[in-house]
Amino acid sequence: MMTAVEIGRQVASGRVRAQEIVRAALERAELTQVELNAFITIAHESALEQAEKIDERLAAGEDVGPLAGVPIVVKDNICTEGLRSTAASESLASFVPPYSATVVERLEQAGAVVVAKANLDEFGMGSSNENSAFGAVKNPWDTSRVPGGSSGGSAVAVATGVVPIALGTDTGGSVRQPGSFTGVIGFKPTYGRLSRYGVIAYASSLDQVGVLCRSAEDLALSMDVMAGHDPKDATSLAGVAPAFAKAVTGASDLTGVRVGLIEELTGEGNSAGVMAALELTCERLVQLGAELQQVSVPTARDGIPAYYLVAMAEASSNLARYDGMVYSSRTGEDRLGQADVMMKSRGSSLGPEVRRRILMGTYALSAGYYDAYYGKALKVRRLIAHEIERAFEEVDLLLTPTVPSVAYPLGEKVDDPLAMYLGDIDTCLANLVGIAAISVPAGFTAERLPCGVQFMAPALQDERLVGVTALLERHVGEKFAPLAPL
């Protein structure tokens, strides 16, 4: 399949029509859906209409943008005007937004075409994409296994070649973990680099839009298009101009770049396949000129309890609106009182994992427990941030496995949420601190399952991660992010 950069050039030059590209993507999406359940909505009509408009504008001599005719997939918790956006929840099963998220608007203004909305864990709450009101997503490399979550549908769309670029959201690793499980790039920028306007909130201090793709050049192009201040989002960073394309072509090697392996996360607890992938990446980094050393983040393993306390507390607040009154579907007879209708609506329209996190978050915020749980989690969050800042005084980048294991069988951890939560031990740190992180393909295990490694960079040094990815991609060649079988 062509990259987004190649498609944009081909369509803009008239060598291929946007309608041909989009029609092919829709056909492949249908095939993928039958096998893997990656999508909640496939946008046949609107996508072909948009592609036709692009062809007409090009024929009239207009500049459509660098993503002319590029098909994209958008996670279904990111609003798309006129196109159903459910967050994979029964409570929003019929919600059609009257506006699009800023990141979607900017991609469409650059010529991209939304061909489908991706399946996910309900409201982004999960690490396996099994917590969806629309059914579980399957991993294309082994359909008996999970694709990762919560952005599993977006990852599968890229891994199977439906689209070259997909949007996800990353609250504690929800772009990077499925990237690792499906063998694609998963990028979470510094908090505030991408607007969150139009994203259905889970945990507002942690949520960030992210990108899944198979090439550093596509990642750079999409970030250059989407990044930049958005006055509609109070957390959007001003005065930070994106320069991702320059990062892809800027460096020829990693001479002098210091990469630190977090010793608390690169030993016990990781599978043999994951450790082999990490060692292989270290060898490649040395060949490219990087200097490797061990660094310590003493409270790194405390990130999981701190992250889940903060995330669940914020989820309790954000999801209070889904009560059957104004937002979400309503359950119960009209003659029932307001409290009864609210309880019935929330109980019937929210899934078990969402209810679990709301209850735990409400408990952590309740009188008598706030200081013991939520307040303490905020202190640990600050401590981890200080330790990572100190680590970046010694090195330029931090390196860990993306996930302690490869994709596990469907159903294996559904009844053991604590085991599933532990899978976020590597990825949640970047969200707690607000820094940029990327999962990069690192080969396959003996079972032919993909595996990724994670790089983290100091705040606002996102472009550096894209540059490292580009160097590794050139070093590895065509086997860097191969298409999954379908």
The pair of structure tokens assigned to 100 is 């699009």
Residue given tokens 């993503």 in the structure block:
67
List the catalytic residue out of 85, 100, 132, 174.
174
Please give the C-alpha separations between residue 230 and each of 98, 147, 196, 238, 434, in angstroms, as whole numbers: 19, 32, 9, 8, 18
Q: What is the DSSP letter of 260?
A: E
The string of DSSP codes covering 213-232 is ES-HHHHHHHHHHH-S--TT
Task: Choose the catalytic residue: 100, 150, 180, 328.
Answer: 150
State both tokens at 212.
């899944």
| 46 assigned to active site | no
Contact 187, 166 (CB under 8 A): no
What DSSP designation does 291 have? Answer: E
Question: Would residue 439 show up in a list of annotated catalytic residues for this protein?
Answer: no
Nearest to 171 by CA among 142, 146, 200: 200
Q: Which helix (H) or strand (E) holds 28?
A: helix 18-36
First to last CA, the chain: 13
How far, in Å, are 25, 210, 235, 255, 460 from residue 162 at the CA level? 5, 18, 32, 37, 31
Instruction: Look up 479 and say whether it is catalytic.
Output: no
The per-type count for the chain, helices as H runs and strands as E runs, is 16, 11
Q: 433 near 445, Cβ under 8 Å?
A: no
| Pairing between β-strand 185-188 and β-strand 436-444 as defined by DSSP bridges | antiparallel
Q: 444, 450 in Cβ contact below 8 A?
A: yes
The answer to whether the bond into 150 is cis (omega within 30° of 0) is yes
Going from the C-alpha of 276 to that of each of 90, 214, 267, 406, 451, the distances in angstroms are 41, 22, 11, 12, 10
Q: Which two tokens stand for residue 54?
A: 């692009």
Q: Could you tell me the two tokens for 442?
A: 């690192």
Could you give the CA distance from residue 26 to residue 115 in angstroms, rounded to a whole number?
A: 6
C-alpha 200 chain-centroid distance: 14
Contact (Cβ atoms closer than 8 angstroms) between residue 211 and residue 103: no
Q: What residue type is 319 in one-letter code?
A: L
Active site members: 75, 150, 174
